[in-house]
Amino acid sequence: MDLRGMAARVEAGMQLALPVDYAGVSMAMTRALIERGAGDLDLFCVPTGGLQVDQLIGAGLVRSVETSAVSLGEAGGAPRFNQAVGEGRIVVRDATCPAIHAALMAAQKGNPFQPLRGLVGSDVLRFRPDWRMIDNPFAEDRDPIVLIPAARPDIAIFHAPMADRNGNVWIGRRRELAAMAYAAGQTLVTVERIIDENLLGSETSAAGTLPALYVTEIAVAPRGAWPYGLWGEYATDTAEILRYAKAARTAEGFATYMAQPAAGRAEEPAQ
């Protein structure tokens, strides 16, 4: 499968689950999604968003973002996100990290909701009419507790070091990637490489493997997280993220930046 073919699975109006900076962002898919052009996307950040979210917003493809935060980390605020929020062009469903995880866990378990402590009295809760507060039925006295409804994203997209020829994907200890795949209808994965060894063939590699059962498509994309890093593979290219942060302060600067080829990433090979 190639990136373009995978991007074709994304239809306008779909909800996409995307991982946090350090967990394996498929930056390789970002340009394929922009080229594909399916808009009105609802992004679900697990549990925060960064460069990929900012670029999809900058390209005008995003209708809403559910997230605990969007930022470029050391490079500061996410410029296209911040401007779109200020201009009211996107809806932000502000959450808190464990609420994002709770929503996925509910879907993983086939449950309609998952409880979560905290939140009571916050404006995060006040602006989430889709969340509910009940009294804990096990408590003797009043004990308000929030219920987070299940999130079932249409498509989860992430990048991982490797997959085997059976479609199993090695995610190591980044188990939020498994949580995304369990919850999502489809899961699209880019990887650095395909290996011949069966990842489920040994207990050692199986421990960090997302089984093919949960994986819809895989495409090879060397350095596919760039300019983000990938654990155990390569470090974040902070200079490039700073370059983006500076360029994307204006819509024009963003357009110019995106018109350049992705310098730090090898082109994906035909497969």
Give the distance, in angstroms, between the CA of residue 165 and the centroid of all CA atoms in the same chain: 24
Q: Does 120 bind a second copy (CB under 8 A)?
A: no
Helix, strand, coil percentages, rounded to 5, for the chain: 35, 25, 40
Cβ 166 to another protein, closest distance in Å? 9
Q: Does 271 bind a second copy (CB under 8 A)?
A: no
Considering only the stretches 31-39, 48-56, 99-107, 242-250, report the one whose residues sit in contact with a second copy under the rule CB under 8 A: 99-107
Residue 84 to residue 56: CA distance in whole angstroms: 11
Ranges of H-type helices in the chain: 3-7, 21-24, 27-36, 51-58, 79-86, 97-108, 123-126, 175-183, 203-206, 238-247, 251-259
Considering the complex, state which of residue 166 and residue 256 has its C-beta at the smaller distance from another protein.
166
Contact 218, 167 (CB under 8 A): yes
Binding flags for a second copy, 218-257, as an x/- string (CB under 8 A): -------------xx-------------------------
Angle at 179 between CA 177 and CA 181, to 5 degrees: 70
Element counts in the chain: helices (H) and strands (E): 11, 12
Q: Does 117 bind a second copy (CB under 8 A)?
A: yes
Angle at 56 between CA 220 and CA 185, to 5 degrees: 60
245 binds, among a second copy, another protein, none (CB under 5 to 8 A by kind): none
Cβ 193 to a second copy, closest distance in Å? 15
Among 39, 60, 73, 149, binds a second copy (CB under 8 A): 149
Cβ 58 to another protein, closest distance in Å? 15
Cβ 108 to a second copy, closest distance in Å? 10
Considering the complex, state which of residue 52 and residue 96 has its C-beta at the smaller distance from another protein.
96
262 binds, among another protein, a second copy, none (CB under 5 to 8 A by kind): none
Residue 215 to residue 116: CA distance in whole angstroms: 29
Considering the complex, state which of residue 37 and residue 112 has its C-beta at the smaller distance from a second copy.
112
